[in-house]
Chain A
Amino acid sequence: MENTTYQKWLAQLRKGYLELCVLVVLERKDSSYGFELLQLLESAGLSINEGTLYPLLNRMFKNDLLTSHWVTPSEGGHPRRHYQLSDEGAALLPQMLETYQSNQQAVNKLKELT
Chain B
Amino acid sequence: MTNEKYIAALKKALGGLDSASQNDIIKEIQSHSAETGSSLLQRFGSPESLAEQYLDGEIIKTPVIEKVGGFGKKMFLWVGILASTMVLAMAFFIWNVSSDDFNYADESAAELDSNSADWVTKDWAAGTSLDIEQSSAVLYWHDKPTVRWQCNSSELPVMDEGKLTIRQSRCLIMMPKVDIKIVTDQTQIVLVKPQASLDMRIKQTSLRIAENDTQYRYVVNANRSNFDGLKSYDEAEHTIKIESLEAKITPYEQD
Chain A contact residues, CB within 8 Å of chain B: 34-35, 49-52, 54-55, 58-59, 62, 70, 77-81
Contacts and interface: CB of A to CB of B under 8 A. Distances in A.
Contact of A54 (B29, B35, B57, B58): B29
A108 to B, nearest CB: 26
Contacts of B25: 54, 58
Interface string B20-54: 01001101111110111000000111000110011
Contacts of A59: 56-57
A81 B53 contact: no
Nearest to A79: B31
A78 B30 contact: yes
Contacts of B24: 58, 81
A34 B28 contact: yes
Nearest to B34: A78
A55 B53 contact: yes
Contact of A35 (B32, B56, B57): B32
Given A34-B28, A51-B49, A54-B25, A77 B35 contact: yes
Contacts of A34: 28, 31-32
A77 B50 CA distance: 24
Interface SS majority for chain A = helix
Contacts, number: 53
Contact of B29 (A50, A77, A79): A50
A77 B21 CA distance: 22
Given A50-B44, A54-B29, A79-B27, 12 more contacts: A34-B28, A34-B32, A50-B43, A51-B50, A54-B25, A54-B32, A58-B54, A59-B56, A62-B21, A78-B30, A78-B35, A81-B24
Contacts of A79: 27, 31
Contacts of A81: 24, 27-28, 31
24 contacts: A34-B28, A34-B32, A35-B32, A35-B35, A49-B44, A50-B29, A51-B44, A51-B49, A51-B50, A51-B53, A54-B32, A54-B44, A55-B54, A55-B56, A58-B21, A59-B56, A59-B57, A77-B34, A77-B35, A78-B31, A78-B34, A80-B31, A81-B28, A81-B31
B48 to A, nearest CB: 11
Nearest to B53: A55
B36 A35 contact: yes
Nearest to B38: A50
A75 to B, nearest CB: 11
